[in-house]
Chains A and B, each alone.
Chain A
Amino acid sequence: MLFFKRQWPIIIAFVMGIVMWARFYIPTEQSQTLQDEFMRWARILFGFAAMLGILSLLHHHWNKIKLKRPGFGFSVVTLVAFVIMALTGLLPVSWTWLGFADNLRSSNGPHMYLFEHMFVPMQATMFSVLAFFIASAAFRAFRARSIEATALLIAGCVIMIGRVPVGDWLASVTTVEMGSWGARSLINFPYVTDWLLNIPNAAAQRGIILGVILSQIAISVRIIFGIERTYMGGGD
């Protein structure tokens, strides 16, 4: 029994890992099918895990309501919203009496109505709140105390100016004739922006990426060869 509990998962991980790795170098149709099927199987697995996730959420909020923790009223809102949103999409009921078209998840159905008029605007708003937060983050960066932080601040400012019309304007008003060099602008933010993005930025990112890739290969190899087992939990 212990063998099943401890060794089987390691064998499964090893076989799956080696097969999916080797498959990459085999150009046949079956090899592609294998990849597609694996993705599909992973999707199915995710679907089942999703049930557990939703149970976990419902349990979390149900507990809040049951124990009357502070703000439990809001948990009721969540549960009601969940039930309405889920059922409008799942129940095979006609909604025409409410003025909706009959198809459950069609664009005229109640499910998509809620999606478009509640889900989408809230999502877009949370996303747009970022604009305020980026301002406060920039303010935080202004308190730079080390040389490195100053470098970040300066590069950030240069690129911000380089990407707005002011940058182009500055470049055009400071253009002077420089003999055999032709017309050059003295304060050329767009040019510096391009250079910063394409040379030091790209190169530094490359350095980070190369390191990350090695780490990713290392963690994958550890999983395949059963050295990394944290994900299995412990005990027996």
Chain B
Amino acid sequence: MTIGEIIGVWLAAGLTLMMFSFIYRDNAFFKLGEHLYLGISVGYFVNIQYHQVLVPDVIRAIRVEHDFWVIIPSLLGIFILLRLVPSVAWLSRMSFAFYIGGFAGVAIPNVIHGYFLPQLAETLRPFNAGLGNNLNQIVILLAVFTVLIFFFFSLEHKRIVGGISRIGLFFIMISFGASFGYTVMARISLLIGRFQFLLDDWIRQTILRL
């Protein structure tokens, strides 16, 4: 290992412990780590925006590729910056309208194509795949139906509707429990990964030099 690498591992190990100290409680080390992390991440963000957006999409596009269309979004971007000048702050509305309106238009067909149709098609299955599968299909229909009832806003959750939506909520809770249990193991393995770094890269390789 070079000196640079050794310093790097010590740095990383120190910062790892600093951030871990957050589990115990808020303390000066965590404060230091958190503020350092903040500064570094914003510095990195600046670089990403400069090198991956501003230079290729604006500066290079205009000066080298002579793609003058990008002047329009740049202008809209400048409108956002003009929020700092109260008398023309309203110009930023144009930018928001462009951005939000466009994405609203993108969203409608996309959610139907990506979620709505596939989900609905999955729900509708014929009852011809054996008793077990047919029972499962009935459970699926029941769950989808009751969950949809749960979300009905025009109906008060009373009497029959109340009962049905209670079943819907019950399904929702089973589903949440399932994703909860499913996530636990994934999170534990992340922690193991971090300990591996501390024990192997730091203690074994740089301190014990094994």
Contact = CB atoms under 8 A, between A and B. Distances in A.
Q: Quick check: do A and B touch in the complex, using CB within 8 A?
A: yes
Interface of A: 5, 8-10, 12-25, 35, 37-38, 40-52, 54-55, 57, 71, 74-75, 77-86, 88-90, 99, 105, 111, 113-132, 134, 137-138, 141, 147-149, 151-160, 162-164, 193, 195-197, 199-211, 213, 216-217, 219-221, 223-224, 231-233, 236
Contacts of A163: 181-182, 185
Contacts of A82: 38-40, 42-43, 46
A160 B12 contact: no
Given A44-B77, A52-B83, A128-B190, A12 B97 contact: yes
A220 to B, nearest CB: 4
Nearest to A219: B104
A128 B175 CA distance: 24
B49 A50 contact: yes
Given A19-B105, A45-B76, A47-B53, A9 B94 contact: yes
Interface in B164-189: 168-185, 187-188
Interface of B: 4, 7-9, 11-13, 15-16, 19-20, 22-23, 31-47, 49-51, 53-54, 57-58, 69-70, 72-74, 76-78, 80-81, 83-84, 90, 93-113, 115-116, 119-120, 122-123, 136, 139-148, 150-151, 168-185, 187-188, 190-191, 193-194, 197
A21 B109 contact: yes
Nearest to B141: A203
**Those 8 A-B pairs whose CB atoms lie nearest each other, nearest first:** A85-B43, A48-B77, A207-B147, A81-B39, A155-B177, A13-B101, A159-B181, A20-B105
Contact of A47 (B57, B113, B173): B57
A17 B139 contact: no
Given A71-B31, A154-B177, A231-B100, A114 B36 contact: no
